[in-house]
Amino acid sequence: MTNDSKPTTFIIFGASGDLTERKLIPALFNSYCKQRLPEQFNIVGFARRPWDNAELRKILKEGMLELAPDAYDEEKWTPFAQNITYVQGDLNTQADFEKLREHLENIENGPANRLYYLAVAPRFFVPIVESLGTANMVDQNRGWRRVVVEKPFGHDLASAQELNKAIQAVFDEDQIYRIDHYLGKETAQNILYFRFANTIFEPVWNRNYVDNVQISVIESVDVGHRAGYYEEAGVVRDMFQNHLMQLLSLVAMEPPASFEANAVRNEKAKLFHAVRPLSLNHTVRAQYEGYLQTEQVAKGSQTPTYAAMELFIDNWRWQGVPFYLRSGKALTNKNTEIVVEFKRPPHIMFDGIVDEDFTANILSMCIQPDEGIHLRLEAKVPDSRKTQPVDMEFHYRSSFKGNNLPDAYERLLLDAVRGDASLFTRADGIEAAWRLMDPVIYGWENEAEAPPMATYKHGSWGPKEAHTLLNRSGRTWRHACSHPDE
C-alpha cells in the first residue's frame, strides 16, 4: 500500500497496556487482512513484563478473541503473529533502549522504516523520546523514523509547550504524529467532504443563514475504573481540549486550498486564533450523582464529569453565531452529533401558522453511533394547513451496505506509515486549543469566579443548567440522530 518498499517496523512502547490490545493490534491486524500494511513489516512490543515472543503473541491473540472476535481469522492471524516480537525493558533505563536497538537491527537486517508508538502514560513521553535520541534511533539515513504520541498531550498550555519543545529537540515536526482518534473517525472526516465536495451547503454556512451550531459528545459510560486518571483530567482536558476542539475546527474552518497536511492545519490554526476567549458565565460544569462515591475519587472532588460552553468566533463568517459545546459521562446514551441550526424564515406567509409552529431547518451530522446526516425540513401535512418537521436522511449503514466503518486507529496508523499528517495535530494546533481551555480549567478552580458545580442524574441528559445556557437566548439543544427525545 505504501510506495516505499523498505520493511516497516512498528515499535509499541506500552505493549502490555490496554490500548495495544484494544486498538493497535486489531487495527494492524485488520490492515494486514486488507493487505494494506507494507509487504514486509515487524511489530515489536516493548514493556516491563517478563514475557517472551510467544507470551506476547498469546496475550494479543486472546485480546483479539475477546475484543474483536468478528475481525479474528485464525488462518491470517498465524502468519501475522509471526511478525510480532517482544523486548523486555524499562522505559527509564537507557541500556534497555540499546537492547531494543540491537533487536531492531537484528530483525530488520538492513534499512527499514520505523514508527515508534508511545502507548504509555504521559510521564514516559519525554524519557522515551530522549532515550531514542541518545540511542541514535532517530537518524533517518536507513529509513524514515516517526513517532506517534498518544493523548493527553500536556495537561495545560505550559506543559504542552514544554512537551512540544522536548519532543522537537529530538524529532523534527514532520516526524511527530500527535494522535486524536476523533480525526480518524470516518464521519469526522466526512465533515470536510460534506462541506467541500458539495456546492449547495457552503453558501449558507455562515452568519447570514446559521443561527447557532451545537457539538454534543454524549457518553453513557461513567468513569469506571479510570477514576484515577479522570480525577486529574476532568471532562475539559479529557474531551474538550482535543476531540471537541477538533470537531469545532472541522465545522467552522475556512476551506483549505488542498487536502495537504499543512494546508488543513493552517486553517485550523487560524480558526482557533479567531475564537473569542470564553466567558466563565457562559460555561456549565457538573458532576453526575454518585461520582464522589467512586473508588479513587477524592473526598469533595471538584472534577467536572460534564461541561457545556458557549463560544464565539470573531471572523467574517461566524461573527455573532453562538457555538454550543457539551460533553459528559454517565449520560443517557452514546451519541456524538453536530447540529447546524439555520435561521427561521424572515416572514411566515401561511394563514393559521404562527412563528412558534415552525421548526428551524436543522442539519445534523451524526458522528456516532448511527453514522449519517439528517436535514430537517418543514413540510405541509397532507389534507391540512399545518406544517410538520420531516427528515431527509443519509445513513452509512444503508448507503454503503457491506462497507464496515474502519476503526479510527486503522486509518491513522496507515496515514502515519504513508507520511500523511493531515489527520494529526500540529504543535501550534495543540497549543491553541489549550490556550482556549486553560482559562476555563483554571477559572473553575477559583471558586469566586467559577459557576457553581451542578449535578445530574446517571442516565440523564445532563444538568438543567446546560439547558439554561441556551434557553436564555431562546434556544434549545437539538438533535436529529436516532435516540430518545430529550
Place of cell 460544569: 285
Quote the least distance from Cβ 80 to ligand BG6, whole Å.
25
Q: Which of 366, 354, 397, 425 is nearest to 184 (CA)?
A: 425
* Choice between 181 and 374, CB closer to ligand BG6: 181
Q: How does DSSP classify residue 244? A: I
Residues numbered 129-168 forming contacts with ligand BG6, rule: CB under 6 A: 151
Answer for the pair 313, 271: CB distance below 8 angstroms, yes or no: yes
Distance, CA of 363 to CA of 374 (rounded, Å): 6
Single out the catalytic residue among 103, 181, 243, 374: 243
* Choice between 146 and 151, CB closer to ligand BG6: 151
* Choice between 146 and 181, CB closer to ligand BG6: 181
DSSP 376-434: EEEEEPTTSS-EEEEEEEEEHHHHTTT-PPPPHHHHHHHHHHHT--TTSB-HHHHHHHH
Quote the least distance from Cβ 185 to ligand BG6, whole Å.
7
Residues numbered 214-233 forming contacts with ligand BG6, rule: CB under 6 A: 219
186 binds ligand BG6 (CB under 6 A): no
Quote the least distance from Cβ 254 to ligand BG6, whole Å.
27
* Choice between 238 and 378, CB closer to ligand BG6: 238
DSSP 221-238: ---GGGHHHHHHHHHIII
Neighbours of 211 (CB within 10 A): 18
* Choice between 57 and 181, CB closer to ligand BG6: 181
| Catalytic site includes residue 467 | no
> Of all residues in this chain, which one has the CB nearest to ligand BG6 in the complex?
238
Quote the least distance from Cβ 195 to ligand BG6, whole Å.
22
- Specify the 3-state DSSP secondary structure of 279: coil
The Cα-based distances of 160 to 412, 415, 430, 438 in angstroms read 22, 24, 8, 11
List 21, 186, 238, 371, residue binding ligand BG6 (CB under 6 A): 238
Number of residues that bind ligand BG6 (CB under 6 A): 4
Quote the least distance from Cβ 328 to ligand BG6, whole Å.
10
Which grid coordinates are listed for 50? 517478563
Active-site residues, by number, are 243
Please give the residue ranges that form the binding site for ligand BG6 (CB under 6 A). 151, 181, 219, 238
